[in-house]
Copies of this chain bind each other. A is one copy, B any other.
Amino acid sequence: MSKEIPYKIYLEEKEIPTQWYNVRADMKNKPAPLLNPGTGAPMKAEELEAVFCKELVKQELDDTTPYFDIPEEILRFYKMYRPSPLVRAYCLEKELDTPAHIYYKFEGNNTSGSHKLNSAIAQAYYAKKQGLKGVTTETGAGQWGTALSMACAYFNLDCQVYMVKVSYEQKPFRREVMRTYGAAVTPSPSMTTNIGRKINEEFPGTTGSLGCAISEAVEAATSQEGYRYVLGSVLSQVLLHQTVIGLETKAAFDKIEVTPDIIIGCAGGGSNLGGLISPFAGDMIRGEKKYRIIAVEPSSCPSLTRGSYVYDFCDTGKVCPLAKMYTLGSGYIPAPNHAGGLRYHGMSSIVSQLYHDGYIEATSVKQTDVFDAAQRFARIEGILPAPESSHAIKVAIDEALKCKETGEEKNIVFGLTGTGYFDMMAYKSYNEGTMSDYIPTDEEIAASLANCPKV
């Protein structure tokens, strides 16, 4: 019997990690380098610095330094909303009648509503430190754009957000939050960039895509003096910042003297998953511990479970470097009925390599099952989860129910990355029974993959 564990395990402020962990330093097989799409040669720092902040490029390319100090200014901001709680889901356990112990690391208790703020504040800080005027970015559902606008407001930086048009129109309140934080939000594809005008001309009436918004944001950054582009997921620098999640999780478990058996995260671009699991994956790579790590993706956008591990474009406009990753092809867009987020066509190169090397399992789940789990969780644990996070909830419940059958008292932890307050359109279609599932055919995926570059 373990000693009594509170509902919420909080670290003290002084226990917030003061360094981020770079799992690449421990990886035997390093993630493949980013390539110049023109020459096919590995991207050099100078090339990347035209697009990204200098300090962030350094973090992006460094696969040997195991720890990076978190600057004091970022730590101060972290203290406003961190440490985030590790929560013991007692009520869910009781409802499921499982011997498993279920925990979740809750990253939704900040106004951006998600873990995205962890990297946004870091990226804004380095931009400010470099003396830039502002940054540009894209946002889909709006979590990243909100986080970045908060971070830029704090450091008094200009913030230009290209928001996928369909979200811009369907989520006026997300847009309004960003405006309250002083960000300029433009629906994408727009008429303010060459690539936007080109896409609007080729596909009149298009409602946009993440890949297209990325291309516009990159163009906006490189065509304005004193601006750089920042990204909310996929990149190794983002995963680095997000390790604050995993490090806190590990510290909290140490505090209650519990070792997790199963670690579950939802996977879109991979930032939350990578951040949560990095310290645990490091243990495994170094042969110190063994965990089951499960990446959960939507069955309508199954990059790990059904994609190929190849070099691919990161954006529709093909202006970004090539990355080796599990991908469905850069032209892949989830079916229109997909409301559950996690719609990026590829996966972080770190997560891809860890998966390729067998440190991570992956599974895909249907969105109606995801919303069943979301509603169940909301009603019993009192938190309305983001659709993205609910992918992890679904699999955590499944694993807890397996424990019920076997009688095993496993410790399960999942990342509750955010809240669903701005996803009520999706909940509405679920509540009204009009939500449906779509699973792409093998032919659709093969056709999309055929457009990957030959490297």
Contacts and interface: CB of A to CB of B under 8 A. Distances in A.
Interface of A: 6-8, 10, 12-14, 76-77, 79-81, 87, 90-91, 109-111, 113, 117, 150, 153-154, 172-173, 176-177, 179-182, 375, 378-384, 419, 421-422, 424-425, 427-428, 430-431
A7 B79 contact: yes
A9 to B, nearest CB: 9
Given A176-B431, A422-B421, A431-B179, A80 B12 contact: no
A153 B379 CA distance: 6
B382 A176 contact: no
Nearest to A182: B379
Contacts of A381: 80
**Residue in A8, A76, A113, A181 whose Cβ sees the most chain B Cβ within 10 Å:** A8
The majority secondary structure among interface residues of chain A is helix
Copies in the assembly, this chain: 2
A8 B14 CA distance: 11
Given A7-B80, A80-B7, A419-B111, A384 B177 contact: yes
Nearest to A382: B80
Most buried by B among A150, A153, A424: A424
A112 to B, nearest CB: 9
B424 A375 contact: no
Given A177-B384, A180-B431, A384-B111, A379 B154 contact: yes
Contacts of A181: 378-379
Contact of A7 (B13, B113, B378, B382): B13
B13 A172 contact: no
Given A76-B91, A153-B380, A154-B380, 15 more contacts: A6-B12, A7-B80, A8-B79, A8-B80, A80-B382, A110-B382, A111-B419, A113-B421, A117-B382, A154-B379, A176-B424, A176-B431, A177-B421, A180-B427, A181-B378
A154 B378 CA distance: 9
A89 to B, nearest CB: 9
A179 to B, nearest CB: 5
A6 B79 contact: yes
A384 B13 contact: no
Contact of A382 (B14, B81, B179): B81
A110 B382 CA distance: 7
Nearest to A429: B176
20 contacts: A6-B79, A8-B13, A80-B87, A80-B382, A110-B382, A110-B383, A111-B419, A113-B421, A154-B382, A172-B424, A173-B173, A173-B421, A173-B424, A177-B384, A177-B424, A180-B375, A180-B378, A180-B427, A181-B378, A181-B379
A180 B384 contact: yes
A172 to B, nearest CB: 7
B431 A150 contact: no
Given A80-B382, A154-B380, A431-B180, A421 B424 contact: no
In the A-B complex, list the 5 residue pairs whose CB atoms are closest, starting with the nearest.
A173-B424, A153-B379, A7-B79, A6-B13, A176-B424
A3 to B, nearest CB: 13
